[in-house]
Amino acid sequence: MHQECINCGSKYAIDEIGYFCRKCGDLLEVKYDHGELERAAKKSEWRSAPLSVWRYRDFMPIRDASKIVSLNEGGTGIHRCQRLGEKLGLKQLYVKNEGENPTGSFKDRGMTVGVTKAVELGVKAVICASTGNTSASLAAYAAKAGLQCAVLIPSGKIAYGKLAQAMIYGAKVLQVRGNFDQALDIVLELSEKHGSVYLLNSINPFRIEGQKSLGYEICDQLSGEAPDRIVVPVGNAGNISAIWKGCREFHDLGLVKEVPMMTGIQAAGSAPIAHAIKTGSNTIVPVGKPETIATAIRIGAPVSWKKALTAIRESHGTAETVTDEEILSAQKLLARVEGLFVEPASASSIAGLIKLVDNGTIDKSERVVCVTTGHGLKDPDTAVKVSEKPLEVDAEIAAIEEALGLKKQVAVLAR
């Protein structure tokens, strides 16, 4: 194992702390000896282990299993959505619901590996910038590991479900007068200035290693086959590239025959990656003031943009934008048709699916997996605002019958 620059190919030791290439400044990723992975896939008993992130321990960059910091993450449900599929004309539609993770989001996959690596490296403090879910997850795993934790969140609305988690787990929470991208610049500078403070945003390559298990799981849950397409909400862009890495590794090992088309969905007010894909650009134009109700993907300058563009283009996928109105409509639709309550950012994958089916980009014969990244209780305020208000009625049978329309039903039957 080693770390390698995604641009110039410079190599670094697996235990060297660093987030960018010292030669060209680009991101790093973890690389494995293919022969070693093949032997692990054939000789270990990973297939008999329970479905979870650590089922795939032999494919993770952790040497000392006694250091593993886990809250039983992974193993989330892949839900066959027949009723929603019928509405859209899709015969094989699934939702991989990452809100079933311990802190309610996909971030737990990356944090279990990232914090385990922090413990293995012997650091005593961890830090991140966050729009909500990353801070909640890091705070929980830091508490489990006994590490000091600091999180920087941008000014403006942060969903209370996420903020409450970071606070109750004991993290030092600082609200920065600026946006997420500014907060990330600060934690980067702090981690470089103070070597004992370990950064655990998705630019940390070990975060990506945990999140790639989502790709593994989807293939395993579909009986050893990759779907035709995976639709993913995109904010900082670590997740779409991580899922692609997992699917590609399984394919290279001969564990799946095909790879999925990676399809990224961004909010219209925060969509530099989608715009780059649509225009054929090899770079992104950052959004100075990103705006969307989907706070988890309200990021104007995603640091993993290059990885995301590579994942989408290598897989022959695409990217799309959705409005806040489309996101909220999809959130309600998923809840009311399939009984799955997800936060707005998660619903962007459903909104994008609807749009891409309508415009013919997604063929109705495809087997599609939409990833919903966080639980609806992460942002209950939004759900309350967009739903019908409770009706106040007298504590009388007649009043309740009238409110429920039961009297009308009885009258029709009487005729």
For the chain, the structural domain boundaries read 78-102+208-386
Spatial strand order of the sheet with 92-97 comes to 78-80, 92-97, 367-372, 229-233, 261-267, 318-322
What phi and psi values does residue 133 have, to the nearest 5 degrees? -65, -40
Full-model pTM = 0.94
pLDDT at 261: 98
**Full DSSP string of 114-179:** HHHHHHHHT--EEEEE-SSHHHHHHHHHHHHHT-EEEEEEESS---HHHHHHHHHTT-EEEEESS-
pLDDT band at 307 (very low <50, low <70, confident <90, very high): very high
Q: For residue 50, what is the DSSP state?
A: P
Q: Are strands 28-31 and 11-12 parallel, antiparallel or unpaired?
A: unpaired
Core vs surface per residue 307-316: b (16+ CB within 10 A) or e: bbbebbeebe
pLDDT band at 232 (very low <50, low <70, confident <90, very high): very high
Task: Specify the CATH number of the domain 78-102+208-386.
Answer: 3.40.50.1100
Core vs surface per residue 71-82: b (16+ CB within 10 A) or e: eebbbbebbebe
Do 378 and 104 meet the contact criterion of CB atoms below 8 Å apart?
Answer: yes
Residue indicated by tokens 């000392």: 64
Average pLDDT of span 102-119: 98
Distance (Å, whole) CA 81 – CA 370: 10
Indicate if the pLDDT at residue 282 is higher than 80: yes
pLDDT tens for each residue of 138-151: 999 999 999 999 99
What phi and psi values does residue 79 have, to the nearest 5 degrees? -95, 125
Nearest to 151 by CA among 190, 112, 118: 190
Indicate if the pLDDT at residue 222 is higher than 90: yes
Collapsing DSSP to helix, strand or coil, 402 comes out as helix
Q: How far apart are the first and last CA of the chain?
A: 77
Structure tokens at 242: 């991580």
pLDDT at 415: 53
Structure tokens at 393: 């009625």
pLDDT band at 44 (very low <50, low <70, confident <90, very high): confident
pLDDT band at 46 (very low <50, low <70, confident <90, very high): very high
